[in-house]
């Protein structure tokens, strides 16, 4: 073997050529993406699986029609081929065609049931329930006119559209938050994955309601049908006007299927909101919608919200969210409703703008029950004496002579106990000599020293108690206005 230098040169040259070869290969490969090799002279053919189609709204998201076609011919020119699909009514010679320019290398086009139905109703004015005789063809165009365009044979399809149900639905009636005011009826939410489906959760009062499709219009409406779970579509004043009846005030889930003409009305297992707020110049945080005072959720009843505070003379209302004055609210039934009245309503978007008014400043306890739809606003006078009773306390279960807490001389709401506690239970009676008196108790029975909340319980029922598991010296501090407690082992 000779001339290793020559061999080395050949090797070097071969190594240098590989990137060039790869570049040329990749260029040719990329070029094929935009150009077509000779496709021969096979005629362009358009097909679809079904030639008689009846559309149904419950299948809105499914395929309504799928067109497929064979590759066109560029007559051996290697020029790229673009495809155009045209659809029109039979006999129109495609004068009012829907034209879909589909570009290169695309051999299929589909329309969902909803897309196809909308086209039939709006573009070609086909009446719902009437079969429309349609036609379609695909055209293959060769780039640069390197070869003449080709068109498939026309295929004929019969398509029957449906009449879509309304896309909006509202609750109307004296059982609903807006009453019989059709201009401000309560809007339901469309269920995205369920055509014709709507849902709503919120307060309903004892009374009647039906459903309307358009704000300000009493017709068409959906009324009670053959039963409480069936709907009747009503288009004329002479049609039956039966309504759904709510017998007890509460929070309800209402779910509707307009395609099946069914309705479900059930009491909610969970409250419509997990957070509520106090907004107004009567509360310390004022009209700050970005950071209003938050109400406290009753852990033993998630439908109940409380707010205990020293209120100023002024107004307030209860927004369901922060950061936007246009949110929904809980408001009185009339503006400046008497604080002794318990009526409350849910108001969408804060209009009309109704507020409670405090004329006598001072400490108040407020309780909103979303299930009963009641609002209690009571001035609070601090108790001057509070006791402890239970086997954890020095006096045990002696209601005639329980252990007294010590009042804070600077704040009539604060009481303390400092001393030994046994392993056991306790609660705070607000009187002596009678087990059926009022109490401060834990929100949840058996709460441990780490709990920070207590609440007023009338007549001792339910009978909740704190539980001490480790005997020792403790300091207990309660605030009867804010209904808070601190239990600290010393």
141 and 207 together in one domain = no
Residue 61 above 80 pLDDT? yes
Residue 49 above 60 pLDDT? yes
Angle value at C-alpha 434, between 432 and 440, nearest 5 degrees: 65
pLDDT at 73: 84
Q: Which of 267, 263, 243 is nearest to 253 (CA)?
A: 267
What is the percent of the chain with per-residue pLDDT over 70, rounded to a whole number? 92
Q: What is the 3-state secondary structure (H, E, C) of 349-410?
A: HHCCCCCEEECCCEEEEEEEECCCCEEEEEECCCCCCCEEECCCCCCCCCCCCCEECEEECC
Q: What is the mean pLDDT of residues 265-270?
A: 91
176 and 239 together in one domain = yes
Classify residue 251: in a domain, yes or no: yes
pLDDT at 210: 98
Pick from 70-79, 202-211, 291-300, 463-472: least confident: 70-79
Q: Which of 377, 334, 370 is nearest to 205 (CA)?
A: 370
410 contacts: CB under 8 Å, gap ≥ 6? none
pLDDT at 39: 53
Q: Determine the Cα–Cα distance for residues 460 and 241; give it in Å rounded to an integer.
A: 49
Question: Residues in the chain, how many?
Answer: 490
> Sorting pLDDT into bands at 50, 70 and 90, what band is 339?
very high
Residue 323 above 90 pLDDT? yes
321 and 418 together in one domain = no
284 and 373 together in one domain = yes
Q: Which tokens sit at 240? A: 């039956």
- Is residue 391 a contact partner of residue 422, using CB atoms and an 8 Å limit? yes
130 and 228 together in one domain = no
To which residue do tokens 């082992």 refer?
489
Instruction: Name the phi and psi angles at 60, rounded to 5.
Output: -45, -40
Q: How far is CA 306 from the centre of its chain?
A: 25
Pick from 231-240, 264-273, 276-285: least confident: 264-273
- Is residue 264 a contact partner of residue 255, using CB atoms and an 8 Å limit? yes
pLDDT at 178: 84
205 and 261 together in one domain = yes
Residue 74 above 50 pLDDT? yes
Q: Determine the Cα–Cα distance for residues 398 and 259; give it in Å rounded to an integer.
A: 66
151 and 240 together in one domain = no
Which conformational region is residue 95 in: left (phi greater than 0), alpha (psi within -120 to 50 degrees), or beta?
alpha
pLDDT at 372: 85
85 and 139 together in one domain = yes
Mean pLDDT, the chain, integer: 90
Q: What is the mean pLDDT of residues 478-486?
A: 98
Instruction: Name the phi and psi angles at 126, rounded to 5.
Output: -80, 135
Residue 293 above 90 pLDDT? yes
Classify residue 19: in a domain, yes or no: no
**358-416: per-residue pLDDT in tens?**
999 999 999 999 988 899 999 999 999 999 999 999 999 999 999 999 999 999 999 99
pLDDT at 373: 87
Classify residue 7: in a domain, yes or no: no
> Sorting pLDDT into bands at 50, 70 and 90, what band is 194?
confident
Domain boundary among 379, 413, 446: 379
Q: Which tokens sit at 121? A: 């109703």
285 and 363 together in one domain = yes
Classify residue 41: in a domain, yes or no: no
What is the percent of the chain with per-residue pLDDT over 90, rounded to a whole number? 78
314 and 348 together in one domain = yes
Q: Which tokens sit at 430? A: 């607000």
Classify residue 14: in a domain, yes or no: no
More confident residue, 335 or 6: 335
Residue 40 above 70 pLDDT? no
Q: What share of the chain is helix, strand, coil (3-state, %, to 5)?
A: 10, 40, 45
- Is residue 124 a contact partner of residue 96, using CB atoms and an 8 Å limit? yes
90 and 73 together in one domain = yes
Domain boundary among 160, 183, 199: 160
Classify residue 27: in a domain, yes or no: no
Q: Which of 206, 195, 181 is nearest to 256 (CA)?
A: 195
218 and 240 together in one domain = yes
Q: What is the mean pLDDT of residues 458-475?
A: 96
Longest CA span, the chain:
122
Number of domains in the chain: 4
- Is residue 251 a contact partner of residue 202, using CB atoms and an 8 Å limit? yes
To which residue do tokens 């002024």 refer?
314
Domain membership of residue 232 as a residue range: 170-267
Q: Determine the Cα–Cα distance for residues 172 and 392; give it in Å rounded to an integer.
A: 56
Domain boundary among 140, 160, 180: 160
Q: Which of 245, 239, 196, 197 is nearest to 218 (CA)?
A: 239
pLDDT at 151: 92
Classify residue 358: in a domain, yes or no: yes
Q: Determine the Cα–Cα distance for residues 60 and 317; give it in Å rounded to an integer.
A: 43
Q: What is the mean pLDDT of residues 150-162?
A: 95
pLDDT at 35: 46
CATH number at residue 142: 2.60.40.10
CATH number at residue 391: 2.60.40.3620
Q: How far is CA 301 from CA 271, 274, 369, 371, 449, in A?
A: 9, 11, 9, 10, 21
Residue 29 above 70 pLDDT? no
Classify residue 419: in a domain, yes or no: yes
Instruction: Name the phi and psi angles at 41, rounded to 5.
Output: -125, 25
**439-448: per-residue pLDDT in tens?**
999 999 999 9
pLDDT at 2: 34
């Amino acid at each position: 073997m000779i001339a290793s230098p020559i061999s080395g040169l050949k090797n070097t040259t071969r190594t240098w050529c590989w990137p060039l070869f790869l570049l040329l290969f990749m260029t040719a490969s990329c070029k094929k993406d935009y150009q077509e090799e000779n496709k021969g002279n096979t005629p362009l053919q358009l097909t679809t699986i079904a030639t008689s189609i009846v559309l149904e709204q419950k299948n809105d998201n499914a395929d309504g029609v799928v067109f497929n076609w064979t590759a066109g011919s560029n007559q051996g020119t290697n020029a790229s081929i673009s495809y155009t699909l045209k659809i029109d009514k039979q006999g129109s010679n495609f004068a009012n065609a829907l034209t879909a320019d589909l570009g290169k290398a695309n051999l299929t086009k589909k329309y969902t049931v909803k897309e196809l139905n909308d086209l039939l109703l709006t573009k070609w004015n086909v009446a719902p329930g009437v079969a429309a005789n349609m036609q379609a063809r695909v055209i293959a165009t060769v780039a640069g006119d390197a070869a003449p365009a080709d068109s498939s044979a026309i295929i004929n399809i019969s398509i029957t559209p449906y009449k879509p149900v309304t896309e909006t639905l509202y609750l109307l009636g004296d059982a609903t938050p807006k009453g019989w005011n059709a201009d401000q009826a309560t809007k339901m939410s469309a269920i995205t994955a369920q055509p014709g489906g709507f849902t709503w959760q919120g307060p309903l009062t004892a009374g009647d309601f039906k459903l309307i499709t358009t704000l300000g219009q009493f017709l068409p409406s959906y009324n009670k049908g053959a039963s409480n779970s069936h709907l009747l579509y009503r288009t004329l004043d002479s049609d039956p006007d039966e309504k759904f009846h709510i017998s007890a005030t509460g929070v309800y889930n209402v779910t509707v299927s307009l395609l099946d003409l069914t309705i479900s009305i059930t009491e909610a297992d969970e409250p419509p909101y997990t957070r509520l707020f106090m907004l107004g110049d009567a509360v310390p945080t004022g009209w700050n919608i970005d950071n209003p005072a938050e109400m406290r959720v009753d852990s033993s009843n998630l439908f109940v919200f409380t707010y205990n505070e020293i209120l100023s003379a002024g107004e307030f209302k209860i927004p369901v969210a922060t950061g936007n004055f246009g949110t929904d609210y809980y408001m009185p039934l009339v503006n400046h409703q008497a604080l002794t009245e318990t009526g409350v309503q849910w108001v969408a978007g804060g209009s009309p703008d109704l507020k409670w008014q405090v004329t006598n400043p001072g400490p108040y306890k407020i309780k909103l029950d979303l299930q009963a739809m009641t609002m209690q606003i009571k001035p609070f006078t601090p108790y001057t004496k509070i006791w402890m009773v239970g086997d954890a306390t020095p006096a045990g279960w002696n209601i005639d002579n329980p252990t007294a807490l010590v009042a804070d001389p600077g704040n009539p709401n604060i009481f303390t106990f400092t001393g030994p506690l046994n392993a056991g239970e306790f609660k705070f009676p607000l009187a002596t000599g009678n087990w059926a008196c009022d109490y401060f108790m834990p929100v949840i029975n058996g709460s441990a020293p780490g709990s920070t909340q207590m609440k007023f319980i009338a007549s001792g029922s339910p009978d909740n108690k704190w539980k001490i598991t480790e005997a020792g010296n403790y300091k207990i501090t309660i605030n009867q206005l804010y209904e808070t407690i601190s239990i600290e082992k010393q």
